[in-house]
Structure 1
Amino acid sequence: MTGQPWRLIPLLDAPGAVQMAIDTWLLDQHQHHGHPPVLRFYTWNPAAISLGVSQRRQIPDHWRNLSWQGQPVDLVQRPTGGRGVLHQGDLTYALVTSAVEGSRSQVYRFLCQFLIEGWAKLGVSLGFGQPDRDYSRSSNCFALATSADLVDSQGHKVIGSAQLRRGTYLLQHGSISLAPDPELWQQVFQTPGPQPNQAQLAMQRGLTLSQVMASLTQAAADCFNAQLMAQPLSDREWIDIYALAQKNGPECQRTGPSAVSSRS
């Protein structure tokens, strides 16, 4: 049986402000213009810290003057909630969909199932974290897990997820920690990096990014009964996305078509 048509956008490597504009634009298109549900994966270049939508005044001062490999570490506002996430050595996923029934917790569990099943096929067992009252006091999303996050069998956080909901329409995206640089982690969070999680160990043993995305894509097709159709962003779509990105602040001024690359 043919599943519901979904758009699969190929892997993009781009500045964080552009990536957030893409996610927001896709949600707008799905909500108002009949755009199909979307799955996409992306990476951040240059390295960035993304801030939860309500985190503007709760960030360490030194985050405003960070650099890595000769480039500033961008500070980027997410349209979703949560705490600060360091985007370096991670893979981000984004889902745009609608009409998912249930409480917030039930929706998270439904949408995260493809992550659990996809990683299980790669030999990494994941489960949901437990609520922690100290989460809101931390500026570091990966310091603690919540019931919306996925942890490995040792309790190490692997994936942190967050949502933006507009009625029945929603964006869920999250960071999959695969190869963090310990020196940058120390610089940002001023604590030693956490113990390697099972996904990071799998990458060290030779698992590739392409294999991860292929497994997660197939799992999404199975979990959501989706017919995933690969379709890059068009030139016309990029014009709208860059216009939206420019509204996010002066850090977007240096972005442009040459700042974005597609990867397989």
Structure 2
Amino acid sequence: MHSKRIWRLIPLLEADGNIQMAIDHWLLGQHLSGQHPPCLRFYTWSPVAISLGYHQHKYPQHWQNLTWQGQKIDLVRRPTGGRAVLHQGDLTYAVVTSGLSGSRIEAYQKICEFLIQGWRQLGIDLHYGSAGRGYIHNPDCFGTATDADLITQDGYKLIGSAQLRRGGAILQHGSMRLQPDVDLFTKVFGGESFSCVQIPQNLSMEKIIAVLIATASNCFDMQLAVQPLSEDEWQAILALSTKLYSP
């Protein structure tokens, strides 16, 4: 029997967008330099934030002054591409790995397989979107579904993902919309009709994460070692977060 590759699992972390993006970027750099194993983590954004794709320089002016429940909404730039994502009522996953051959889309699909299998176990069937090039003109990542996104049978986009490749290493992270505030989404992205997938009431975030961890172990044929970020790692990440990610 072959010994399975060990991946690191960083426990669920709530932090602001700058910190979360710095963690993902730092993990990719560490993995690329051979100092860190592949990694899986799940996280949430506090305060609520809009993340912009790395190359997305145009966005509505009013996004700089938005609030939700009395708190200013953060505007953060991701190290990955794609369009803007509103991070409220969502759960984000991040995978850092290497050794995936094939095209960008093939890499997406290899990584997304654990999400498809996990959500199937949770009772929601997902498949890839198929938007054409019109998506480039839509500032809202969730307003359209490309072949890198996962949508339900009735066309609701549950998971939008983005990717950054450096050498042979890949960072892929994505937002799963669990309990979006419809009014806030309309305020941010305008008046398009906003449909919501009904996540079963008994599905806690902990349950979703537990199932996705199990399907990731299976899909990537690896074992996960739980390891929170150390004090030294936090210092390196905080130093990085001051240099990056503000629009």
Answer with 143-152 or 65-74: which moved more. 65-74
Q: Is the 8 A contact 1:37 1:98 kept in 2?
A: yes
* Other-structure match for 1:261: none
How many residues are treated as equivalent by the alignment? 246
* Residues in 2 aligned to 1:61 and 1:151: alpha-carbon distance in whole angstroms: 29
The CA deviation string for residues 97-128 of structure 1, in whole angstroms up to 9 with x for no partner, is 00101111111111100000011111110011
* Other-structure match for 1:223: 219
Q: Is the 8 A contact 1:6 1:229 kept in 2?
A: yes
Q: Is the 8 A contact 2:98 2:170 kept in 1?
A: yes
Answer with 61-70 or 142-151: which moved more. 61-70
* Residues in 2 aligned to 1:224 and 1:70: alpha-carbon distance in whole angstroms: 42
Q: Cα distance, 1:167 vs. partner? A: 1.8
Q: Is the 8 A contact 1:185 1:193 kept in 2?
A: no
Q: 1:244 aligns with which of 233, 236, 240?
A: 240
* Residues in 2 aligned to 1:24 and 1:234: alpha-carbon distance in whole angstroms: 16
* Residues in 2 aligned to 1:202 and 1:155: alpha-carbon distance in whole angstroms: 15
Report the identity percentage: 53
Secondary structure of the residue that 1:93 maps to in structure 2?
strand
* Other-structure match for 1:26: 27
Q: Is the 8 A contact 2:27 2:96 kept in 1?
A: yes
Secondary structure of the residue that 1:184 maps to in structure 2?
helix
* Residues in 2 aligned to 1:107 and 1:224: alpha-carbon distance in whole angstroms: 12
* Residues in 2 aligned to 1:250 and 1:136: alpha-carbon distance in whole angstroms: 22
* Residues in 2 aligned to 1:49 and 1:81: alpha-carbon distance in whole angstroms: 14
Letter in 2 for 1:50: S
* Residues in 2 aligned to 1:102 and 1:250: alpha-carbon distance in whole angstroms: 32
Q: Is the 8 A contact 2:158 2:177 kept in 1?
A: yes
The CA deviation string for residues 198-255 of structure 1, in whole angstroms up to 9 with x for no partner, is xxx124x22110110001000000000010111000111000000000112679xxxx
Provide the TM-score with structure 1 as the length reference.
Answer: 0.90
The CA deviation string for residues 10-38 of structure 1, in whole angstroms up to 9 with x for no partner, is 00000000000000000011011420000
Q: 1:234 aligns with which of 230, 237, 240?
A: 230
Q: 2:199 aligns with which of 199, 202, 212?
A: 202
Structure 1 unaligned blocks of 5 or more: 252-264
Q: 2:209 aligns with which of 210, 213, 228?
A: 213
Structure 2 unaligned blocks of 5 or more: none
Q: Cα distance, 1:190 vs. partner? A: 1.8
How do residues 128-207 of structure 1 correspond to structure 2 at under 5 angstroms? 128-191=128-191, 194-197=194-197, 201-203=198-200, 205-207=201-203
* Residues in 2 aligned to 1:248 and 1:193: alpha-carbon distance in whole angstroms: 34
* Other-structure match for 1:5: 6
* Other-structure match for 1:254: none
* Residues in 2 aligned to 1:236 and 1:9: alpha-carbon distance in whole angstroms: 15
Alignment RMSD, CA only?
A: 1.3
Q: Is the 8 A contact 2:6 2:223 kept in 1?
A: yes
* Residues in 2 aligned to 1:128 and 1:137: alpha-carbon distance in whole angstroms: 20
Letter in 1 for 2:4: G
Secondary structure of the residue that 1:22 maps to in structure 2?
helix
Q: Cα distance, 1:191 vs. partner? A: 1.8
* Residues in 2 aligned to 1:54 and 1:217: alpha-carbon distance in whole angstroms: 31
* Other-structure match for 1:256: none
Q: Is the 8 A contact 1:128 1:147 kept in 2?
A: yes
